[in-house]
Structure 1
């Protein structure tokens, strides 16, 4: 088809629909929040079925949701020692837009694109944001309508105010309120403000990062990308491959992670004796005494380690699965204050300092089954949910939610984990595994 054109209306500020009684008070950021503050993350929801007055109804639902999620309508304030959210109700940014194509035409173009060529397509559907500043809203939303009657909702948020679970819960609330519900079905929970009299939101004590997670974050922060940068690739892992691995007895995530880790290691490793690292995120709420209503950052960061040669070519793919599973099974140990197991894990991760780089390490985060696929603005759940990968410094893959528009049983992955010169080989390894 001809060039896809998206015409955007001027952006507006959306504020809470009711006065927020904690306006002017401090919203406390946890150590995990501070580690991710000003980092933009984006999700795009594609709805092929028409939403009644999509721009206005979603804007209204967003305004009502900000009453319950009032810190998201605030602004960053304070210095390094007192970094917090000023809950001033200044609001979030919102715009409507229209496209000259259908959603299927757009998604076909995304599926056919390779490496960074897919990004100009997705950039039309979201606010452009390399990094948040203190003056920026924490949420930027664009609702784009298409010729087919469908819509795509692009949401960029400051990762410091919510993790993936949290923003999924927030968007579910926006959908419920847009459909006419008087209140969200789940009352949101966040860190305590310095005035907890507000009746719309429960609060909890600030979660503390366990020592292992702090050490893992330090290892990640020291990773350097390849000199040529990282290319963005849209990958589909076939259902036949996933099912073949799962017959050996493992979860969907373990199967997908094993495929990505083995195939990537085969094409990027420089020394088979070098340790290969796979870092992935895990929901840590239950280990911190929290439930799914808590929307701040609350993740563990397990690290699977083995020699590059073993990951790439050693034994069956189920051996790689077993390495990943052991890292998952150790997550409860991350939150224990002492003991030989914790000491050993900290020593092991300390030994990795200075050995981590593009040729032997990358991360995976899974967006499956955390609520992204359950958002409904009045026309049912989305046909597709896609992450938009910003300019990250460390290699990563994002496993997309399973939605109605995807191939049955297949898994869509947005890869930002290989340099452009390795992209074709990475695809080929997955296709022939």
Structure 2
């Protein structure tokens, strides 16, 4: 659409914008098991109102916007408390888990350079997030992927065997995205500590819910800064924090380690320039939304949201386990579920679900479907399970095949 020669009335433009969304998934209605998170109109309204108030405020220089400096500090402190961070922990907000992981790779490379490493590599389980690969590509760090165990958890022995004198980073996930397994963080962190290597725990999916699930009595293994050897962690607030996109936090065990993430220069005529992340200009909206939602929901609210999400996931798993030919992958200790289908193409099942208004991730290997279950699914998991059962039967009878799809989009 070309730029109109004359401006159009606001109500006309907004009406067209609403119409353009007609083909989008119904992410507020509990029919989308990926990409977006919803905990009700009230929390969403707080996020939206706070985001609007600071939408065009710029966190590049908080001397002009001290409110953003305070809000970011408060958010980081809350996350540090969830993750058992020690005194002296240093962190900052990023635009999402991808930026947090890219910066993690950068920090490891820079620390490696100080140690004389010129051909750095990082050792990752095959299940670690794709954003590590983006960091490897951007910063010329070789990615060494190691197969996971039969339970989809990282294999510390295989990771140890893959490490060498050029290794600057090892990673674990809590939980990993594809199957929702929690990696053996203690063993992986011990490998890193023994070799003085950075150890990052990607808790973008679990950093909010896992501490609360533990309080609710779930047997959550150690995964955070309480584990010796963990040097950094990432957590997304726009997932189970239910804040506006995009809001993530990257924490380092101390300020010295965070310095490897930051960039500072005065090599131009505009004065000293410094930033903690990839972006320069950074909207204050997501920072304000994160701060406001955390304050609005509070500790007891997040405990209840974690309980509701976990209950929905348990009910979904129970239903999936009862469907003939459906195989849930792994132990699913948190709020994710992935499943394969015997005798039918799972991607054909996804096509049928999509035609019925349900959206799930398609992934592999192994070919499977993935569900991120949150509080907004409390009232829909039974209907979804019914839809899965019908779709599996239909796909098996027709021997249809489907497209694998993609987690991200590139035109």
Higher helix share: 2
Higher strand share: 1
TM-score above 0.5:
no
TM-score, reference length from structure 1:
0.28
